[in-house]
Amino acid sequence: MANRTVMAKQLKCIVFTTLVIIVFMIAMPIFIMKPKVSANQVEEITNSNESVEASTKQNNNIIIKGNETVKVYITETGKIEEVNLEDYICGVVSNEMPANFEKEALKAQAVAARTYLASKKLNSCTLDEGIDICDSTHCQVYTSKEKRLEKWDASYANEYWNKIKEAVDETSGQVLSYNGELVLYPQFFSTSSGQTENSEDVYLGEIPYLRSVSSTGEESAPKYTSTKSLKISDFVYLLNSNFSNLNVTVENIKNNFKIKSSSEAGGVIKLDINNVEIRGIDFRKALSLNSTNFTYEFNGDTITFNCKGYGHGVGMSQWGANAMAKNGSSYDEILKHYYTGIEITNLELTE
């Protein structure tokens, strides 16, 4: 009888141990598996988003931790200002888009700006501690109502501000989402060449909602086309100053400079300079060109670049948005055109 009791206890122990091992084997991959990269993540556009926490309720609201106050780092003074969220969006739209644009274009800009702010509520600007965002092009340009009114002519300042406020109020709380997640990269820029760029042709990551789309009617934009000429000696100096190991000279540059690949929109993706591969976006920055959509021509001791468009070319073209609005498109139609597959969703902030 005693032996049976001992054997029963041993059997129970073996069964329990076996069950523990089985549960551990099932659970272990869950803990060690690397999560899939979400549609919003891409290398180089911003910092890593692994710590970002956002959830979506059944009512499809985008819910993030935060409140209606925006902590803005003012780069000129080095101080932090606390601004009401929707007042902040007014201050951004007044800087990022001409106030004489169509109201539906301004509304589209307001939603894009609010979406970008929401992304910074999740992954804050790194210029200072304890801030959400800064007021410069490092994030998106912002000025207060008072400063903006001072910069505008008094004859139309209040009219312009009221128009922007209406656009912001009529889209209050609205942000862009993709597959139920907040859009983290609501990129926008001034003027396209007639077609926007795929994200991977400018940055290093493919984002499903940043696809190349047509963008017509922008020919009247002041920077739709531009020309820049440089002395070849100055051109060589800029290249050697900005890129290492090029070793280009005035004598060898003409035979060692060529466009290697371009996007379907016409933007230069890569150049071959003296057998060194340079990205188009880096070349554009080094030479302060208006866009990566350019051709070039050597003429004597000068090189001339002819550019189309102004800005990085990814996401919403502001002049294209205005052209769409003039043709009767609503702000949601504009946004859904430039951001492939997105939805317009309400933002809910929780403490």
Strands 79-84 and 69-74: antiparallel
Q: What confidence category does residue 285 fall into, taking pLDDT thresholds of 50, 70 and 90?
A: very high
Residues 170 and 195 in one domain: no
Residues 76 and 177 in one domain: yes
Q: What confidence category does residue 54 fall into, taking pLDDT thresholds of 50, 70 and 90?
A: very low
- Token pair, residue 309, equals 């468009």
Residues 211 and 261 in one domain: yes
Residues 65 and 182 in one domain: yes
CA neighbor of 97 nearest in space, from 146, 64, 140: 140
Asked if residue 328 has pLDDT above 80, the reply is yes
Q: What confidence category does residue 27 fall into, taking pLDDT thresholds of 50, 70 and 90?
A: very low
pLDDT at 60: 65
Residue 340 lies in a domain: yes
Q: What rounded mean pLDDT belongs to the chain? A: 87
Residues 213 and 138 in one domain: no
Q: How many domains does the chain have?
A: 2
Residue 40 lies in a domain: no
Residues 63 and 179 in one domain: yes
**CB 228 within 8 Å of CB 307:** yes
pLDDT, one tens digit per residue, over 208-258 is 999 999 999 999 999 999 999 999 999 999 999 999 999 999 999 999 999
Residue 327 lies in a domain: yes
Distance CA 193, CA 201 (A): 15
Residue 8 lies in a domain: no
- Token pair, residue 201, equals 């042709």
Distance CA 97, CA 330 (A): 17
Residue 138 lies in a domain: yes
Residues 246 and 210 in one domain: yes
Residues 291 and 331 in one domain: no
Q: Where are the alpha helices (DSSP H) in the chain?
A: 2-32, 85-96, 103-122, 145-151, 157-169, 232-242, 280-287, 318-326, 331-338
What would the mean pLDDT of 324-335 be, rounded to a whole number? 99
**At which residue do the structure tokens 């692994």 appear?**
50
pLDDT, one tens digit per residue, over 110-142 is 999 999 999 999 999 999 999 999 999 999 999
pLDDT at 66: 75
pLDDT at 350: 86
Residue 45 lies in a domain: no
DSSP one-letter string for 174-189: EEEEETTEE-S---EE
Asked if residue 17 has pLDDT above 80, the reply is no
What would the mean pLDDT of 284-311 be, rounded to a whole number? 98
**Which residue range forms the structural domain that includes residue 160?**
55-186+315-350
Torsion of CA 167, 209, 52, 128, to 10 degrees: -60
Distance CA 157, CA 151 (A): 8
pLDDT at 223: 97
Residue 276 lies in a domain: yes
Residue 218 lies in a domain: yes
pLDDT at 276: 97
Residues 321 and 269 in one domain: no
C-alpha distance from residue 208 to each of 35, 72, 321, 333, 338 (Å): 18, 30, 20, 18, 12
